[in-house]
Amino acid sequence: MGRYFVKVECDVFCDWHSENPRYRVFVNDELFVERTWIWQHHYLRECIQLQVNPGKYAIKIELVEPAPNATLTWSNTQIVTGPATIKSGWLIKVHDES
């Protein structure tokens, strides 16, 4: 059983007022990235790149507290590269191709 490269992308949008909010991306509770949101009325294309064994991987995107007056949404989640499928919500299943 080998490791596979998988790239997952999604659109992230943050509606906020006052201080710039921060958000984090986790894969199976491992912190992948933390970003400070500085844009108004724009979305970002978040790219999550994995080099993993076959199995299931839960991806989570959340605001860092405190984040008053901020709402984070994401959509258009898709597998761009690699032997994987989106099972439900943010659960990614990487398939063994051997």
pLDDT in tens, 67-90: 778 999 999 999 999 999 999 878
> What digits encode the pLDDT tens for the residues 11-29?
999 999 888 899 999 999 9
> How many CB atoms lie under 10 A from the CB of residue 66?
9
CA distances from residue 32 to 7, 18, 19, 42, 69 in whole angstroms, order as listed: 13, 26, 23, 22, 25
Cβ proximity of 69 and 16 under 8 Å: yes
Q: Are strands 55-63 and 22-27 parallel, antiparallel or unpaired?
A: antiparallel
At residue 1, the 3 state secondary structure works out as coil
